[in-house]
Amino acid sequence: MQVPFNDLKLLHSGLKKEMLTEIENIIDNSSFILGQGVRSFENDFAASIGVKHCIGVSSGTDANHLALWAHGIGPGDEVIIPANTFIATAWGVTLCGATPVFADCEEDSYNIDPADVERKITSKTKAIVPVHLYGQTADMDKLRSVCNGRDILLVEDAAQAHFAEYKGRMAGSFSVAASFSFYPGKNLGAIGEAGALTTDSDELDSKFRMLRDHGSEKKYYHNEFGHNYRMDGIQGAVLALKLKHLKLWTEQRRQAAKFYDVKLSGIDGLILPKEMPYAKHVYHLYVIKCQKREELIQFLGENGISTGLHYPVPLHLQECFADLGYKHGDFPQTESLSENCVSLPIYPGISEEQLGFVCDKIKHFIKSL
């Protein structure tokens, strides 16, 4: 049996006809950049997250940049981010010319540790960017209280957390602005590059719209420096269509995770992901820890099961940040995760037969040790 890590062909097979109709509409109307397709997606996504505004942009990385850039963050400023995340969280900071300051993750949630964030605050700290990693929200109340009484912005990186909840509210609705990615493999994925920002602020909404479109509100009149961070019309139209299925796909991911939770619990040598009491996890990734992870990955691969690593090198040990002076040992939880993590196959439509096969092979591997 083959078990891919993700299966976009399967996801799209039932939607292909409708997707092609949407694409045809865009071609017929020549609304290739922004336009009605993007506008209706923005409205639907804002409503489903429970915020006033959604601004479609060209990628999650660009959304990360815009979220900080719009607040005037620049050279000399520090922004605290988790050491355990995808590199694009850091690009949001470096593209502004500011300095990323890393914080460790919690042992149980794998999300940024508010206590370590507190330790990293200096007079230069301008923002904190928690990432709702793997599909589970960071502890937003604790992070908010770290910011209380200080002039520090809280900006969510919700790239992996579409429809994830914290105490009954959706990720992307907890901070002054939040960024999303619609990279194809995400829980809500485009058929190319796309991202978005969400916010309740009318002022920020206008600012984001202006910055994403060459610093311009009116064509050829440029109020500020800007960039071309616009969303394609085709991506907006396809995302609006796929958004209608996201609730079901989220439930399917949760069911798959439950299957793993039950079948793999109590096995010596495996640590399973923990859904925190405050969170509704959407399992963008199902990340386990295993000290024999290289051997496990090889064994699963030999049996037709694909796995992932999220992430093999934490940000503080990336070559591009060598000048910041971090070293091995600085972030014990993050490093333990990077050395032992394995992401198991999870996607809407993965069958019980496939899930059972993965679990059987993992058990077989552990027994053989």
Ligand X SMILES: Cc1ncc(COP(=O)(O)O)c(C=O)c1O
Q: What is the dihedral of CA 136, 139, 144, 150, to 10 degrees?
A: -100
> How far is it, in rounded angstroms, from Cα 234 to Cα 231?
9
Tell how far CA 277 is from the center of its chain. Answer: 20
CB of residue 92 vs ligand X: minimum separation in angstroms?
A: 8
The one segment of 80-88, 148-156, 327-335, 337-345 that binds ligand X by CB under 6 A: 80-88
The one segment of 47-55, 82-90, 162-170, 245-253 that binds ligand X by CB under 6 A: 82-90
Q: Whose CA is closest to 369, among 309, 281, 314, 296?
A: 296
| 159 is a site residue for ligand X (CB under 6 A) | yes
If you count them, how many residues does the chain have?
369
Q: Which is nearer to ligand X, 80 or 355 (CB)?
A: 80
Q: Are 344 and 288 in contact (CB under 8 A)?
A: yes
Q: Which is nearer to ligand X, 59 or 199 (CB)?
A: 59
Rule CB under 6 A: choose which of 131, 178, 305, 344 binds ligand X. 131
> How far is it, in rounded angstroms, from Cα 156 to Cα 127?
10
Instruction: Considering only CA atoms, give the Rg of the chain.
Output: 21
Rule CB under 6 A: choose which of 3, 67, 88, 344 binds ligand X. 88
Count residues near ligand X (CB under 6 A).
15
Lay out the site mask for ligand X across 195-224 (x = CB under 6 A, - = otherwise). x-----------------------------
Name the region of 266 (left: φ>0; alpha: ψ -120 to 50; beta: rest).
Answer: left
**Residues 286-325, interacting with ligand X (CB under 6 A):** none
| 166 is a site residue for ligand X (CB under 6 A) | no
CB of residue 189 vs ligand X: minimum separation in angstroms?
A: 9
Rule CB under 6 A: choose which of 160, 187, 198, 354 binds ligand X. 160
CB of residue 31 vs ligand X: minimum separation in angstroms?
A: 22
Q: φ, ψ for residue 290 (rounded to 5)?
A: -150, 130
Rule CB under 6 A: choose which of 134, 183, 259, 357 binds ligand X. 183
> How far is it, in rounded angstroms, from Cα 114 to Cα 47?
29
| 89 is a site residue for ligand X (CB under 6 A) | yes
> How far is it, in rounded angstroms, from Cα 80 to Cα 157?
12
Rule CB under 6 A: choose which of 31, 48, 59, 334 binds ligand X. 59
> How far is it, in rounded angstroms, from Cα 97 to Cα 78?
10
CB of residue 97 vs ligand X: minimum separation in angstroms?
A: 19
Q: Are 314 and 331 in contact (CB under 8 A)?
A: yes
Give residues in contact with ligand X (CB under 6 A).
Answer: 59-61, 64, 85-86, 88-89, 131, 157, 159-160, 181, 183, 195
